[in-house]
Amino acid sequence: MPHADAVIAFVVPVRDDAERLRTCLASLRAAAATTPHDLLVLDHGSRDRSAEVARDAGARVITREGGNVAALRNFGATATGAPLIAFIDADNEVAPGWLDAARAACAPAAVGMAGAAYHPPPQGTWVQRTYDALRRHPAAEEPTEWLGAGNMVVRREAFVAARGFDESLETCEDVDLCAKVAMAGWQVRAVPGMRSVHHGDPKHLSNVFWGELWRGRDNLRVTLRGPKSPRTVASAVMPVAYAAAVACTLLGGLAGWPAGAVIAGTGLAGVLGLLTLRVAAMQRNAGGRLPAGLWAAVQVALAYDLGRSAAVFVGVGHGRRREASAR
């Protein structure tokens, strides 16, 4: 049964991720050791020991097969009455002080959501360390347009006002939720103290590509829905521009001289220009020093943007993405 006096409910979806779930739940228990809380694990039809690990950790376990992670999270929100709902992914490990930071951020009545960008594993691959430069880590609390659903806390009234996660989305449901909460009049805050380590960061360049190919189509749908800002416009325009530049480069190579050379040169210049913008943004996010050097950043940026641009034309489901990421 849910904790009657729970201040916060942790909603953790999982599917075949027992060992990382064990680490996640231990970190949540430690962070909430002195606070009444509800710990709910939503088992999405796991075939490994995920449910057993969750029960051993003292969590309530509900098994639900079918649907997507948005539906799973929505169900979890209705299965608890806590005023704050924390959505934490099974491959995330929260830091000490996480709950104190979350409660402090949500203390003002105007704040509807709080969270922080993930950090890579401490002993991560060069791809994981470089991938982190795609994320911004502000030094102090500030307003934000987006929080990842693997590390966020939402005030129940704000979640209800936004009508929860959009279950028609396979991914980017967190982007959509943040926009709806903001449009309902609530503040969305980035809180550095809500630090987490994402053990699921892509280990290899192929994982980066497949991950963005999976996210790309829903990302385009969601960014065209909500309020427009420089970030959302760039998020929608960049993949389309990249796709056009790559197409020009390839088609120009097939065309005859001299028109083909002009078309290919224009396309290649576009690819290089967009790549330069991406790497420059990564360098800013990393405080001026790229974690694994310039060449590593170029490779990760290419894999990231090629995946996003390919999603303009094709898409892959979560199962295909998981299969590719397991290689």
Outline where the chain has alpha helix (H): 18-31, 50-56, 69-78, 98-105, 126-131, 156-161, 173-183, 205-223, 230-254, 259-285, 294-310, 318-325
Q: Given this model, what pLDDT does residue 12 score?
A: 98
Instruction: Report whether pLDDT(144) > 60.
Output: yes
Does residue 210 sit within a domain?
yes
The torsion defined by the Cα of 234, 239, 242 and 248, in degrees rounded to 10, comes to: -130
Virtual torsion, Cα 147, 152, 155, 157, nearest 10 deg: 60
Helix, strand, coil shares of the chain, percent, nearest 5, are 50, 15, 35
Q: In whole angstroms, what is the distance from residue 274 CA to residue 279 CA?
A: 9
Q: Is 248 inside a domain boundary?
A: yes
User: Does pLDDT of 24 surpass 80?
Assistant: yes
The answer to whether residue 107 sits within a structural domain is: yes
- Predicted model pTM: 0.92
Instruction: Tell me what the mean pLDDT of segment 18-39 comes to.
Output: 96
How many residues belong to the chain? 327
Mean pLDDT of 247-253: 90
109 plus 155 within the same structural domain: yes
Question: What's the pLDDT tens digit per position in 151-166?
Answer: 999 999 999 999 999 9
pLDDT value, residue 318: 58
The verdict on 77 and 187 lying in the same domain is yes
Q: Is the peptide bond before 192 cis (omega within 30 degrees of 0)?
A: no
Q: Report the amino acid identity of residue 215.
A: R
Domain boundary among 173, 198, 223: 198
- Whether residue 324 is predicted with pLDDT greater than 90 in this model: the reply is no
Three-state secondary structure call for residue 86 = strand
Domain carrying residue 280: 205-325
Please tell me the distance from the alpha carbon of residue 46 to that of residue 257, in angstroms, as a whole number: 57
Which residues fall within 8 angstroms of residue 78, CB to CB, at 6 or more apart? Answer: none
* Confidence at residue 313, expressed as pLDDT on a 0 to 100 scale: 84
Same domain, 45 and 184: yes
Each residue of 98-131: b (16+ CB within 10 Å) or e? bbebbebbbeeeebbbbbbbbbbbeebbbbbbbb
Instruction: Please check whether residues 261 and 183 belong to one and the same domain.
Output: no
Mean pLDDT lowest for which of 1-10, 84-93, 165-174, 280-289?
1-10
pLDDT, position 168 = 93
Q: Residues 175, 143: one domain?
A: yes
In a domain, 2, yes or no: no
> What pLDDT score was predicted for residue 255?
83
Confidence of residue 321 (pLDDT cuts 50, 70, 90): low
Kindly state whether residues 15 and 127 are assigned to the same domain: yes
Cα–Cα distance between 214 and 206 in angstroms, integer? 12
Give the pLDDT band (50/70/90) at residue 119: very high
Within-domain flag for 163: yes
Structure confidence at residue 231 as a pLDDT band (50, 70, 90) = confident
Domain identity same for 60 and 182: yes
185 and 209 in a single domain? The answer is no
Q: What is the rounded CA–CA span in Å between residue 326 and residue 92?
A: 18
How many structural domains are present in the chain?
2
Residue 1 lies in a domain: no
| Residue 34 placed within a domain | yes
- Of 174, 198, 222, the one marking the end of a domain is 198
Q: Is the pLDDT of residue 76 over 90?
A: yes
3 lies in some domain: no
Is 232 found in the same domain as 163?
A: no
The C-alpha atoms of residue 234 and residue 241 are separated, in whole angstroms, by: 10
Q: What is the CATH number of the domain that holds 171?
A: 3.90.550.10
- Co-location of 144 and 284 in the same domain: no
- Rounded distance between C-alpha atoms, residue 302 and residue 297, angstroms: 8
Give the pLDDT confidence score for residue 154 in this predicted structure.
98
Of the three residues 183, 198, 213, the one that is the final residue of a domain is 198
Residue-level pLDDT at 16 = 95
- Under DSSP, the state recorded for 96 is T
**In the numeric block, which tokens belong to residue 64?**
């639900």
Q: What percent of the chain has pLDDT over 90?
A: 81
Could you tell me if 87 and 213 lie in one domain? no
Mean pLDDT of 8-17: 97
Query: Which pLDDT belongs to residue 325?
Result: 55
Evaluate if residue 49 carries a pLDDT over 60: yes
In the chain, % of residues over pLDDT 70: 94
| 134 and 22 in a common domain | yes
Q: Taking residues 261-277, what's their average pLDDT?
A: 94
